[in-house]
Structure 1
Amino acid sequence: MEIIHENEYLYKMNDEIEPYLATHRQEGYISGAEDHLHRKDTGIVGKIHVQRYLAEKPKGVIIISHGFTEAAPKYDEMIYYFLKAGYHVYMPEHMGHGQSYRLTADSSLVHIDTWKRYVRDFLKICHVIKKTYPELPLVLFAHSMGGAIGTIAAAWEPQLFQKIILNSPMLRPLTGNVPWPLVIAIAQTKCLLGKEEDYVAGQKPYDGGETFETSGCTSRPRFEKYNEMRKENKKFQVSAASYGWLLASVKMSWYIKYCGWKKLTAPVLLFQAERDDFVSVNALRKFAEKINHRGITSCEYVYLPGTRHETYRSDDRTMEMYLDKIMKFMDLGMVSDSCT
């Protein structure tokens, strides 16, 4: 498959890709999962914003689980590739992101009350997809925070996905110079003191000041395209974590480390960036090793030299190899119910 090259990226995206996607896109809202496991006094249930793209002759359905502070338009390029490859694509925005419901009025803050809310909402969307296309295999494409959410969803319902693709999954977030045990203690203490909606120390509201050099992107044109979109749309300007979110990330990490990996049955393709300032590379390696040595399925581990955290937004040479690897992985042994 031919990629969109960096030297013509903005032109191609603006004049060709986005109009093409617009003709294939439907969007709306799906109610999140019933909140019966937490906060029964409020029973908060919101609506998840979902984009749907339909291929002419689909051979499967890809559901994208995006990362922390991301929104649907950031994945337009990948959606285009998947669509051209013959897959329906569903792009839900997790609670607290994009046009989906939020638990705080602060437009810059990502806050959640329990990590299970992410997983239950995501599974609700997956169930809608399977009900709509029962004969088509479902493929998970997940990045960073979305990788944690998607991995847990696959552990809770092992037969749901036929293939799992993880890009720099947040199996354990990096926390700078603060030791992991101290991070856990701080997050737990803040939440016990009722400060779960406070900004994590060092984080701040969106100010539009992110630069390519400090970003997780390896391709300047790809960074600039989405960065300008963020500046123009307040719904895309989430930029900071609450202590509630931090504690949720800790608990997702614990679940995957001690329990989740054992339950995966679908083949896994995992991409690791060379330079990742957001997630623990050591956690990725241990995850893959445990699956391959003691798990039920297999995990193909791919190291991408010269890349940063956002492996799906890399330079031309990397993108060509990356896409080729993904397409071959998805097509290998892909079987729809209608063919059995």
Structure 2
Amino acid sequence: MEIINENEYEEVMNDTVAPYLAARRRELYVPGADYPFRNENKRITGKIHMLQYLADDPKGVIVISHGFTESAVKYDEVTYYFLKEGYHVYIPEHCGHGRSYRLTADPSLVHIDTWRRYIRDFLKACRYIKKAYPDLPLDLFAHSMGGAIGGIAAAWEPQWFHKVILSSPMIRPLTGNVPWPAATGIAVEKCILGKEEEYVAGQKPYDGSGAFETSSATSRPRYERYKKLRAEKKELQTWSPSYGWLLASAEMSWYLRLYAWKKYTAPMLLVQAQTEDLVSVRALKNFAGRINREGKTVCDYIHMIGTKHEIYGSRGKTLEKYWRYIFNFLEDDREK
């Protein structure tokens, strides 16, 4: 397949991709999971915002689980490639992101009360998709935080998914200069003290800052496009985690590494970036290795040279290779 060239990226995205997507897009709202979670007296539910894109001659359905502080529109180029290859695409936005419901009034803060809300909401969206297309295989494409959410969803309902693609999944997040045990301990303490909606120390509200050089992408026009969209739309300005989110990320990590790997039945592709500042590479390798040694399925592990955390935000031959891996995997019917 043909990847959009950096030198003409804006022109192609505006003149070709945007109208192509608009002609196939529908905006949906799906009720979130009705579940008491941690506080039965505070039963918060809301609506999940989801974009639907319909391929001309579908052979399957892709559900995308986006990453931390991301939104559905960040995946316009990704969606375009899937559509061109014959897949319907659905992108539900996780709680606290995009136009989905939020648990805090601060548009910059990513907050969640329990990690189970993410999973149950995502599975509610997947149930809607499967009901709409019962005869088409459902494949999962999940990035970063979305890789943790999608990875657990695929463990809870393994029979729902035909293939699972995890791109830089958050099997265990990195916590900068603070050791992982200390960071999780601080999160637990803050939540016990009722400070779960506070910004994690050192984090701040959205201020329009950020630079390509320190970003998770290697393609400047791809990075700049979303930075511009974020500046224009308040619902895209999610920026920093709360202590509640930090605790949820730790609990998702524990579940993935202790239990989820045992439950998968769908073939899995896990793609690791060469330069990784946000998730633990060691955790990725251990996770894939455990599945291949002791699990019920196979996990193809790919180390992508010349990439950073947002592998889909790469350029040129590297991006072509990334998509070649993905589509070859989707069309391979191997079983363990």
Q: What TM-score comes out, normalization by structure 2 length?
A: 0.98
CA distance in 1, matches of 2:39, 2:66: 26
Contact 2:58 2:88 in 1 (8 A): yes
Q: Partner of 2:312: helix, strand, or coil?
A: coil
Q: Partner of 1:195: helix, strand, or coil?
A: coil
Corresponding position of 2:26 = 26
Q: Once the 2 structures are TM-superposed, how far is the Cα of residue 37 of structure 1 from its aligned partner? A: 3.6
CA distance in 2, matches of 1:152, 1:109: 23
CA distance in 2, matches of 1:28, 1:301: 34
The answer to whether structure 1 residue 188 and structure 2 residue 172 are counterparts is no
Q: Once the 2 structures are TM-superposed, how far is the Cα of residue 84 of structure 1 from its aligned partner? A: 0.6
1:293-327 CA distances to partner (integer Å, 9 max, x unpaired)?
Answer: 11110110111111100011101111111111111
The answer to whether structure 1 residue 256 and structure 2 residue 256 are counterparts is yes
Corresponding position of 1:73 = 73
CA distance in 1, matches of 2:313, 2:71: 14
Moved over 4 A (4+): none
The answer to whether structure 1 residue 209 and structure 2 residue 209 are counterparts is yes
Gaps (5+ residues) in structure 2?
none
Contact 2:37 2:114 in 1 (8 A): no
Where do 1:215-254 residues align within 5 Å? 215-254=215-254
What letter is aligned with 1:333? D
1:181-213 CA distances to partner (integer Å, 9 max, x unpaired)?
Answer: 111110000000000000001110001111001
Corresponding position of 1:300 = 300
CA distance in 2, matches of 1:102, 1:279: 25
Q: Partner of 1:78: helix, strand, or coil?
A: helix
Q: Partner of 1:213: helix, strand, or coil?
A: helix
Gaps (5+ residues) in structure 1?
335-340
CA distance in 1, matches of 2:143, 2:214: 18
1:71-122 CA distances to partner (integer Å, 9 max, x unpaired)?
Answer: 1111000100000100000011100000000000001000000000000000
Corresponding position of 1:83 = 83
Equivalent pairs counted in the alignment come to 335
Corresponding position of 1:113 = 113
CA distance in 2, matches of 1:224, 1:158: 37
Q: Partner of 2:187: helix, strand, or coil?
A: helix
What letter is aligned with 1:117? R
Q: Partner of 1:159: helix, strand, or coil?
A: helix
CA distance in 1, matches of 2:54, 2:77: 15
Q: Once the 2 structures are TM-superposed, how far is the Cα of residue 177 of structure 1 from its aligned partner? A: 1.1
Corresponding position of 2:318 = 318
- Identity across aligned pairs (percent)? 63
Corresponding position of 1:337 = none
Q: Once the 2 structures are TM-superposed, how far is the Cα of residue 328 of structure 1 from its aligned partner? A: 1.0
CA distance in 2, matches of 1:18, 1:212: 23
Q: Partner of 1:312: helix, strand, or coil?
A: helix
Corresponding position of 2:329 = 329
What letter is aligned with 2:158? P
Q: Once the 2 structures are TM-superposed, how far is the Cα of residue 157 of structure 1 from its aligned partner? A: 0.7
Corresponding position of 1:60 = 60
Q: Partner of 1:105: helix, strand, or coil?
A: coil
Q: Once the 2 structures are TM-superposed, how far is the Cα of residue 39 of structure 1 from its aligned partner? A: 2.0
